[in-house]
Structure 1
Amino acid sequence: MRGATLAGTLALLPLAAACTSGEGDAAEKSRTSRPVVTAAPEAGVVAPAKVEVIAGLIGCRPRIRVDAEELRQGVCHTEDADRVITTFPEEKYKLAWLDAASGFGGRHLVGSRWVVSAKPEVLEAYREKLGGEIQQLRGFGPTPSR
């Protein structure tokens, strides 16, 4: 009899757990899944932002060249520089993009769910406007000797 009671209790345990409110789990997920917010010091806005918003902050008008579920990418072309602005709906897509882009190397301004690619000499000025962090991606192959 005791074995049957124990077996019945164990069988109902997953059902009871499935019926709980899960408030603790939801609260924990919301704390850990929130993206890191990067303030744009000069503009007073908070990223993540749309391609068009970031472009406006750095003084260009983008031509959208990719509009997919995983990312949006716009290109700004001016006489002095080309800029590529990429935004992501989730941080995991940005990390995957950075991983793939690391094969090409270069410096990029990286924020919360966005990346700006431009000449290294303009990235610091953009960082002052947008926030974020300048990251050097390694690249493949030989590196120039210094």
Structure 2
Amino acid sequence: MRFPSGPALPLLAAGGLSCAIVVVGYAHGAPVPASPPTRHTAPSPGPAGPPASMARIAAALGCRADIILDAQELREGGCTTRAGVFRILTFSSDAKKRAWLTEAQAYGGSYLVGTRWSVTGPSRNALLPLRNSLGGTVESGAGHGHSP
């Protein structure tokens, strides 16, 4: 069996983790493992106010999100633009967002993170225009260091 590699791997891992976290007692206050090292970009002064919705994030990307998972703890959607494939996640709390990011960042990738939401994109540079419209912080996961 051949596993995907390249830019698709972090997106597949993020989607699988979002489901696994919900199923494995995530909502029951399970302990969160120590966070792997991450690189951060200073927050953008983007719009203040309530957390961005799935529709607002997709509109800022210039697409319409197809909902993949709609659970009480999180909502996941995805869309494709000329810049590539994006996964959009909204969470019921910032603590749940941080728990998801802690797990997802172990697989590497870049994440634009805001209040109760996160977006995974094809590259760090692809997330910067979205950061300019929505605010947030670009974070990069450490990855496992394995070659495909």
Q: 2: distance between equivalents of 1:101 and 1:47? A: 24
Matched residue SS, 2:102 = helix
Corresponding position of 1:76: 79
Larger radius of gyration: 1
Corresponding position of 1:95: 98
Matched residue SS, 1:46 = coil
Once superposed, what is the RMSD of the aligned Cα atoms?
A: 2.1
Supply the AA of the counterpart residue of 1:91: D
Of residues 47, 52, 62 in structure 2, which corresponds to 1:59?
62
Matched residue SS, 2:119 = strand
1:110 aligns with 2:113: yes
Q: 2: distance between equivalents of 1:116 and 1:87? A: 9
1:134 aligns with 2:132: no
CA deviation map 1:66-98 (0-9, x unaligned): 101110011002344111110001011101100
Q: How many correspondences in the alignment?
A: 104
Q: 2: distance between equivalents of 1:68 and 1:80? A: 28
Structure 1 portions without partners, runs of 5+:
1-37
CA deviation map 1:47-70 (0-9, x unaligned): 412211111122110000010111
Identity of aligned residues (%): 38
Corresponding position of 2:33: none
More RCO (CA 8 Å, sep 6+) = 2
Q: 2: distance between equivalents of 1:40 and 1:71? A: 25
